[in-house]
Amino acid sequence: QVQFVESGGGLVQPGGSLRLSCAASGSIFRWSILSWYRRGPGKERELVARIFPGGITTMYADSVKGRFTISRDDAKNTTGLQMNSLKPEDTAVYYCKRDSNIYGKGYVPSGSWGQGTKVTVAS
């Protein structure tokens, strides 16, 4: 079982950049599918990016493709999300999570949700 603690959020101007970090613990980090999710004001939680074991294969939501980059460092049990060209619509609380592949449901976040880290994009 993996526990996650997110950090790096804050207030940034439109067009600016932020780097989010997530520290994890557990015995299966190396083999985990890791994802960043976000929940904007009045919106449902949505998948932002996903990175698979080995770090070569990644997936991004269309809304962030070309602007965000997900990474992982298995030796340090961390995952990062570099966020560039930020837009006001990126304002949200961001969460990192381990995903499981569940038959009939696809990739589903596993375990409880942490507090996340808040990103506010405004001038």
**SS3 call for 113:** coil
The pLDDT > 70 percentage for the chain reads 99
51-93 pLDDT, tens per residue? 999 999 999 999 999 999 999 999 999 999 999 999 999 999 9
Residue 63 contacts residue 49 (beta carbons within 8 Å): no
pLDDT at 76 (0 to 100): 92
pLDDT at 1 (0 to 100): 66
pLDDT at 16 > cutoff 90: yes
24-38 pLDDT, tens per residue? 887 778 889 999 999
Which of 119, 87, 107, 122 shows the shortest CA–CA distance to 6? 119
